[in-house]
Chains A and B, each alone.
Chain A
Amino acid sequence: MPHTGTARPIPRIMLSVLCFPVLLVLAAGCDSGNGHRIVFSVGGTPSALLVWEELIANFEAQSDWRVTILRQPADTGQQLQALLVALDSGQDDPDVFIMDVAWVGLFAAAGWLRPLGTIDTEPFFEQVVEQVDKYNGKLLALPVYMDAGLLYYRKDLLKKYGYAGPPRRYEELTAMAVAVQKGERRDNPGFYGFVWQGAQYEGLVVNFLEFAGRGGGMLHQRNGRDVLDMTVPENRRGLTWMRDLIREHGISPPSTYTAMREEEVRLWFQQGNALFERNWPYAYALHDAPGSPVRGNVGVAMLPGWETDEPGLPTLGGWHIGISAQSDAPDGAMAFLRYVVSRGPQKRLALRLGWNPGREDLYDDPELLEKYPHLPVLETALEHARSRPLLPFYIQLSEIAQQTLNAALAGNIAPGPALRDMQSQMAALLARYGRETLLPEGTKTAGERGQ
């Protein structure tokens, strides 16, 4: 049997191999102490985040706080997970962060937001601040970026096919899209009439709420209280229409419900392969940038409605800024927050990233108006915008909606049953969280339903 006898260097090698990673671990885990440092978490494409770095550099020049930027992916689902895990695990970083408007309810109810104290909220869109940013009377966040869905259209194509202007109703939109697509397909086989976000993510719910129109949506006012009802006929009409766009009229690509999110939709339209696009206002700057194939031909309008010429209800989107309740540098965080929501940075974000300011007082700024002629349309849209339900468990409700809506688009389930299914799942969720009061009257509880 091979027997080595003398002591080999193996044990020593193993010991050092073992120690090295341990040392690295200790070194890496070493907290450099806080000092005057705040951590700021923001998501976006790496190119967008470069603008934030400029803002941070500016801030650092005027204050003695250092800011470390924590770059999150552009995907909102991943941003949420990162923030949620960081906050829920009790970490003191990030100190300041940007959150989607749909999360403010959850963060507020979970106690992760530090009250902002006395900040003048006058320059901001009042109704948004009241609805979204205040919880139990305390101001917990401020809008940095306001968003509402818009309808983009190709001015040149509408003119080419003899239409006077963008559609005011969804019925018209369908007709126009079908006609133009037929014509354009002769030269461009990849042309589609209408591109919108249908992948299984939050954006799908946003689109759905817009296409459901007035009377549709999740929460409804009945007998003086809020009621959650997905089965209203307007929802059914909207969902059927969405499904037919793909499966019946073929004016939306089959990848709509698998891959189409904001950027995919924007790129599709920007490459000249669509007549209509539903997207957020950010797309305008990119469509109009030098080098864009559709530059100069892009029009922007309010989303259509159903049956009447009244404009539709865009869904309110956007990003809000808040301070972590667990922050170890609240003063610095506050200073940075004030800086970000002040006129200068807001204007720069608007000019460089196409971020619509949360400050209403910037909407008549001549420089912005010159760069973004669609700003007045946007201001109207923001005034009409409908926010998603501001419940702490909105995210769970949305996940239920995302899955069922996507299944309906995929053709796996008809719209009517899909919405009923959605409603019963949401009802079960509400029961679990003790919020049955939000259910329509006559809804049986789980025990009675005998499911």
Chain B
Amino acid sequence: MRAETIEKLSSLGFLGPLAFFIALFIVLPVTGTFVDSLFRDVVFLDRAFIGLENYRALFSHPGFWNAMRFTLLFVIVSVPLEILLGLAIALTLNETIPLRGMIRAVVLIPWAIPAAVSARVFELIYNYSYGAANYLVRVLGISREPVNWLGTDLGAFAAVVATDAWKTTPFVAIILMAGLASIPEILYAQARVDRAGFIRRFRSITIPLLWPVLIVAALFRTIHALRIFDVIYVLTGGGPGGATESVSLFAYRYFTTGDYGFGAAASVVLFIMALSLSVFYVRLGGFGKRRRE
């Protein structure tokens, strides 16, 4: 009896620090934000309970819908792009090539650099007068006029997608590489014996077996893309004219002008969106693999 109780107490003790940190610095703030969104929490007004008023104001606020539209558009465009690029890189690195380790290390570099830092580099790249992007535009003859990247809606959107893709494609590539590595080589060998071409092998073996990993990577990226903040804050500041303002940035603005309740409401909406997707992800990916074994 005593040994069992000791074991039980041990397990509680061992889980203690984890529970402490997660409860206090994640669960508590999230709950607190939820509660706060039901209050008029403004720095220069008295605190008052206003129920769903913040949400009502939020849903009739054109800036919020603008942010939602941008965020969703960003997800829809960047996630497939990153998956495709990541797949291309993963396929390349899956082959035995010289210096594979070095190349893999190089591939990790964009991922390892802070997003804020790489955003500043891209801010320079997209500089109107002397950035590398307009240099390429000029030299490759794409257009005689320099492109106003950060000054047009489309240009800024493209710039944000490109910057984010640069940073996160390596992560996708690595996940896909792991998936590719787990495809048994013998399948390819058999296919080659059956005289199946490269494309045929790709379609019949690689894609089906890689599919679960692709889905996992896509969902992972989607959930992270929903919360995009760093790149936008540094690269465009949400501009021009709010064209690249994400929901995270929208909520943040309200925090830094003292309207915590309203910002909390926006971040709760984002939270619910992310949570729904993550439930989907856990159902599909996190435990899908376990069940397959």
Contact = CB atoms under 8 A, between A and B. Distances in A.
Interface in A400-439: 400, 403-410, 412, 421, 425, 428, 431-434
Contact of A84 (B62, B148, B241, B257): B257
B153 A412 contact: yes
B20 to A, nearest CB: 16
A200 B151 contact: no
B226 to A, nearest CB: 22
Contact of A403 (B40, B56, B153, B242): B242
Given A255-B128, A258-B150, A432-B262, A110 B242 contact: no
Interface in B237-271: 237-243, 253, 256-259, 262
B111 to A, nearest CB: 24
B287 interface: no
B151 A255 contact: yes
A88 B43 contact: yes
A253 B57 CA distance: 37
B60 A257 contact: no
Given A255-B151, A259-B128, A106 B44 contact: yes
Contacts of A335: none
A407 B240 contact: yes
Interface string A365-382: 000000000000000000
Contact of B152 (A88, A410, A434): A410
Nearest to B153: A412
Contacts of A84: 43, 256-258
A446 B63 CA distance: 16
B44 to A, nearest CB: 4
A200 B258 CA distance: 20
A406 B44 CA distance: 28
A233 B30 CA distance: 46
A449 to B, nearest CB: 8
A109 interface: yes
A392 interface: yes
The SS class assigned to the A binding surface is: helix
Contacts of A400: 63
A433 B202 CA distance: 60
Contact of B153 (A392, A408, A410): A410
Contact-size category for B: 20 to 34
Nearest to B146: A254
Contact of B43 (A110, A257, A408, A432): A110
A451 interface: yes
Contact of A393 (B44, B56, B237, B238): B44
A258 B258 contact: no
B45 interface: yes
A432 B39 CA distance: 12
Contacts of A106: 43-44, 257-258
A360 interface: no
Interface string B7-50: 00000000000000000000000000000000010111100000
Nearest to B151: A258
A399 B249 CA distance: 13
A410 B237 contact: no
A85 interface: yes
Contact of A254 (B53, B128, B242): B128
A421 B62 CA distance: 9
Contacts of B242: 200, 403, 406-407
11 contacts: A200-B239, A254-B128, A257-B240, A259-B151, A393-B44, A393-B257, A407-B241, A407-B242, A409-B241, A425-B62, A446-B56
Given A257-B241, A407-B240, 4 more contacts: A106-B43, A200-B240, A254-B148, A258-B128
